[in-house]
């Protein structure tokens, strides 16, 4: 996931549930994001409530991942053109994207992105 500081936990949960619903029985193995975003209260609380490990990656590592999406605006803001897709792929190991980046906004207008990758095993 990629998101603006202060995004609401309920919005993150709602987007995740909506994305996972059509995919059927999937075991979530982790939530992944920029390393410093893992300390954000909404993401930290979500991961703890669901029992999902939280994986953080440095911007340089995310920037090295080839993704179908990407944003020059995001690259300027956080030093990598992709957070959601790159973090999902890194967390999945040799996996592939199952759900490309989706952009959402919470009721306060805070933007966040979500992507899902599946592990190769």
Which residues on neighbouring strands pair with residue 105, listed in sequence order? 111
pLDDT tens-digit readout, 12-50: 999 999 998 988 888 899 999 999 889 999 999 999 999
Question: Structure pTM?
Answer: 0.90
User: Domains in the chain, please, with CATH?
Assistant: 2-118 (3.30.420.180)
Task: Report the run of H or E that residue 74 belongs to, with start and end.
Answer: helix 72-78
Q: Strand 54-57 vs strand 96-105: parallel, antiparallel, or unpaired?
A: unpaired
Spatial separation of the C-alpha atoms in residues 48 and 81, rounded to whole Å: 28
Predicted pLDDT at 30: 93
């Amino acid at each position: 996931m990629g998101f603006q500081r202060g995004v609401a936990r309920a919005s993150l949960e709602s987007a995740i549930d909506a994305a996972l619903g059509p995919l059927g029985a999937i075991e979530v193995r982790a939530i992944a994001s920029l390393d410093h975003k893992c300390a954000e209260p909404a993401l930290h609380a979500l991961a703890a409530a669901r029992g999902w490990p939280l994986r953080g990656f440095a911007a340089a590592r995310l920037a090295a991942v080839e993704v179908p999406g990407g944003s020059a605006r995001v690259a300027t803001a956080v030093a990598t053109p992709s957070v959601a897709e790159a973090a999902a792929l890194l967390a999945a190991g040799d996996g592939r994207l199952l759900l490309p980046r989706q952009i959402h906004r919470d009721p306060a207008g805070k933007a966040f992105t979500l992507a899902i990758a599946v592990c190769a095993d």
